Amino acid sequence: MILIIGGALQGKLAFAMELAKSAGKMAETEGKTPFNPLFVNSLPRITGHQLDMQAYPLDSSVCKGEKGEEYEIAEGSRDSFEAAMTCRVIHGLHEYIRRLLKEGKSVDAFLEAVQGQNPDVIITSNELGCGIVPFDPEDREWREVSGRASVRLARTSREVYRMVCGIGTRIK
């Protein structure tokens, strides 16, 4: 397992895709072009996860790159929890955690399932612990649970990276 943490829009997904490709996890079929990590950065500047919505089709665990090539990615804000058990990249673990909390499901059980069923997955998660403490109790709980989940995954991951300005620094 590889964990990539960092602030929003810092290049975590592009970095995860490059790691997955270099490890041979992103199979490119004949006639398909390689994923261009700059694709995400070449889209018009828009806010938040709207960027992700343009990069991937809705309700799918498949990412489409610049030329329509497909790669397995589970998007935490919308893909099924089951998709995280079989994909190559989990993008936005913090969003999966938000959804689990809202649905009253166990975050620990989800993390155990991912670790057991998908041990070679590459996971991205936003750092939520920096900055102003949220006023809303649910947001504070999400922030805390997401942070603890990152700590747990960092302990068991074989590699951990921190992304800042598109630069990945290996910290484990």
| Domain contains 45 | no
Helices (H), 31-119: 38-42, 50-55, 93-102, 107-117
Q: Considering the domain boundaries, does residue 124 fall inside one?
A: yes
Residue 159, in any domain of the structure: yes
- Any domain includes 140: yes
Q: Structural domain tally of the chain?
A: 1
Q: Give domain status of residue 75, yes or no.
A: yes
CA dist 2 and 154 (Å) reads 8
Q: Does the residue 100 lie in any domain?
A: yes
| Domain CATH for 153 | 3.40.50.300
Domain assignment present for 133: yes
State which H helix or E strand residue 126 sits in: strand 122-126
Start-to-end CA span in the chain (Å): 12
Count of other CB atoms within 10 angstroms of residue 5: 23
What is the dihedral sign for C-alpha 163, 24, 80, 42?
Answer: positive
Residue 131 belongs to what domain range? Answer: 2-26+62-170
Which candidate, 145, 147, 127, 102, places its Cα nearest to that of 6?
127
Query: Per the domain annotation, does 71 fall within a domain?
Result: yes
Token pair 């960027």 in the structure block, residue:
51
What span, in angstroms and rounded, lies between the C-alpha atoms of 27 and 13? 17
Residue 145: in which H helix or E strand, if any? Answer: helix 137-156
Instruction: Give pTM, 2 decimals.
Output: 0.74
- pLDDT in single tens digits along all 172 residues of the chain: 999 999 988 899 989 988 888 876 554 433 333 333 433 333 333 333 433 444 433 334 454 444 444 448 889 998 888 889 988 999 999 999 999 999 999 999 999 999 999 999 999 999 987 778 878 889 889 999 999 999 999 999 999 999 999 889 999 9
